[in-house]
Amino acid sequence: MPKIAEAARAARREQIIAAGLACFARAGYHATTMADVATQARVSKGTPYLYFDSKEALFLALHEEWDCGAGERVNAAIAALPDGERRSPRAVLRAVAASIAAHVVAEAETCRVLMEARAMAAHEPAIAAAVRAADDRAHQQLEDLIASGVRAGEWQQGTLMRRDGALKCGIAEFGALMQTPPLPAGADQAAGPE
């Protein structure tokens, strides 16, 4: 396939995903039809099916592939930290939290759709698998960051809250973690499992 055709196909696919986002945010998953998506994207009714087998496939693509810049926003916030703070897991965690909060405000429509995905996960196995995979990736990254903070003496041993091998960090725990004062220099880090 010529490069221009590949680029046009990729652009059309993104156009359909963006239209799906707008429709899902406006009417919800169950009330949205592929015809609604086609109308929003200003394409013929059959065009979305050239890119996605079903509404569920479109919804999953939106969930899995389209983070609307969250990753870039987080990376930019970390890159903007002064060198010393960039080496501090606590400062990195604060930057991540602030950039995610800003992202939620800036991309409320996308966040609304992603929250609907979480609710739908209770009833839709494919969506549940996508939500679980995204959660696992985020939890692993957070777990690694907190573990490096424990090793650096910024948090106490036992800061990681595990349940069935996964980090469970709700709003209250996250707030408590951010309020935990750094350990004094030379504090014993060897006590207790991580």
pLDDT in tens, 171-189: 444 555 455 555 455 544 4
pLDDT-derived band at 67 (thresholds 50, 70, 90) equals low
Q: What does the pLDDT read at residue 110?
A: 83
User: Quick one: 142 exposed, middle or buried, by C-beta within 10 A (0-12, 13-18, 19+)?
Assistant: middle
pLDDT-derived band at 159 (thresholds 50, 70, 90) equals low
Q: Are the beta carbons of 134 and 141 closer than 8 angstroms? A: no
Q: Domain 3-65 - what CATH class?
A: mainly alpha
Give the DSSP H/E element, type plus range, for residue 38: helix 34-41
Quick: pLDDT tens for 80-104.
999 989 889 889 988 988 888 888 8
Quick: pLDDT tens for 35-46.
999 999 999 999
3-state helix/strand/coil string of 61-115? HHHHHCCCCHHHHHHHHHHCCCHHHHCCHHHHHHHHHHHHHHHHHHCHHHHHHHH
CATH 1.10.10.60 in the chain, residue ranges: 3-65
pLDDT-derived band at 57 (thresholds 50, 70, 90) equals very high
